[in-house]
Chains A and B, each alone.
Chain A
């Protein structure tokens, strides 16, 4: 069945996957949990500093320890652990794993094991592959924690602590919103086409259909942007965004902010020792 799927079906499946993913994140982010209850600004600063600690570490065990921290945060935030681990470690071997594999025997260093075809796994090669896998896996996990425990609109507003201008945040927010809308439009376009087609289209026909859909989608996007502008204007938009900023930091938020940043600083310091 899967092998018989054409490009249209695959695109439809991908659209479904993206919608499913954002729905999953929205549901999780509204559950009760430690990270969910934190001020989004604390989360952005705290998790980003951990991410930077992972990025600068020259020591493998510091990265592994930070993955442990991510797992702990997932547990206290009631993020389903199986999904959290699977999303990272089921995908990673096929992407980063494949890329890191040749490094096992292409990096010069003391030999560890001999394989067929004259390939020799070196200690340095093994280390560099582990570094890459651990770093990518831990970074993705920390990013997932942020995405899964924060509703998208609050996450965007929290970016203002990183000095992201309001206008840019507004653009990001509207883009996110219209991605959902355009995904629905594309879904309808492909489904309606599929429902009128018997059998499988040839590759060339599929390509033409996709190009025409993309062109038609562009036309609709342009038309929509005019309509959206008129709608904004009729509600009083004069070219400058205004946001309702209702965040306020509690003592608990401060405690977490100090805790996460201190942990990140400690990890950065420890991470430099090994190198």
Chain B
């Protein structure tokens, strides 16, 4: 933290503003729908492979819960997800933003079926409207149709606790779930972008896909999302949830939740989330093996250079800003590309999980003191 402040004090304000402002435009424009061309084919294939088991799981859950009715049910829920993504949510100052709606889908339908509905909406967007890439369908469905719904479901269960469906604590749980899920989705997206220049470069080191390394991509994605997009997701989820509490409680019991209790599938979904995240962390460095030239170029000391001085001399101040937290780990006791990368992924996830844990603890304490 002190290095960040030091870099700011050194007078890098204008440069920081120019560069950061441009990258932050990322938020306003892409809204997490990755187009074709940002991810290398290997990354795209890995993410397809990761997402397909979740689709299968969703279809199984659907068959079990609603049997023959499953087809019209999922089709309408997917249409609903598609349209929710189009709603312009008013923000202070006259601007508007979009929610992904994955949190709402997960809370209403459970993460398996809700995630499937979001995935189908994303596939339709890519195939019929050209929004989001076709090769990136796997990635987009993983980020918004797997990571977001499972994180949302887990947070919603954890914060909601045993409160009855009509309790205002459930509305708070929906809001927190939306915020955390969107932030987690942005983090995973940023990691996918951030690994591209590490592994997929031309012989002369030119990044061939998304150009920013992890230490730029993660803050550039995460910070604006935490401030805007995640807030929208949380607000939309909570507002719709509160509306359904007032006027359509049957809709809140679709996921099989008893009016007062916690759904029985909570533990399972929670485990699936960890398996998915662990698989992503473990699988992605496999990409290291593919482009032989890039792998061979990095000695352990050269990696530090890649991770640290990815900024030309004119922007030397920025080095400290983005590079500080991870750089020490890389040089200090690892000095290995794949380990450093896995560590940064684990750390990123740990930060989000830590935040959630903290929030849950605070909320739980508040409840015990009030009651």
Contacts and interface: CB of A to CB of B under 8 A. Distances in A.
Interface of A: 3, 6-8, 10-11, 14-15, 18, 21-22, 25, 48, 51-52, 54-56, 58, 94-96, 98-103, 105-109, 111, 117-120, 122, 124-125, 127-129, 131-132, 135-136, 138-140, 143-144, 147, 152, 155, 167-168, 170-172, 174-179, 181-183, 186, 203, 206-208, 210-219, 221-222, 224-226, 228-229, 232-233, 237-239, 241, 274-275
Given A167-B71, A225-B76, A105 B314 contact: yes
A219 B243 CA distance: 11
10 smallest beta-carbon distances between A and B, as pairs = A139-B36, A211-B239, A135-B37, A174-B75, A215-B243, A136-B37, A103-B211, A7-B90, A228-B72, A178-B79
B226 interface: no
A52 B135 contact: yes
B130 A147 contact: yes
Nearest to A205: B90
A275 B83 CA distance: 42
Contacts of B141: none
A10 to B, nearest CB: 4
A241 B36 CA distance: 32
A106 B86 contact: no
Nearest to B126: A143
A79 to B, nearest CB: 13
Interface residues of B, number: 92
Contact of A229 (B73, B90, B129): B73
Contacts of A25: 128
Contact of B83 (A51, A129, A138, A182): A182
Prevailing SS type, chain A contact patch: helix
Nearest to B242: A211
Contacts of A147: 127-130
B371 interface: no
Contact of A108 (B126, B239, B312): B312
A22 B72 contact: no
Given A51-B135, A172-B124, A179 B130 contact: no
A127 B206 contact: yes
Contact of B315 (A103, A106, A168): A106
Contacts of B239: 207-208, 210-211
B14 interface: yes
A229 B69 contact: yes
A91 to B, nearest CB: 10
Contacts of B123: 172
Interface string B46-76: 0000000000000100000001110111111
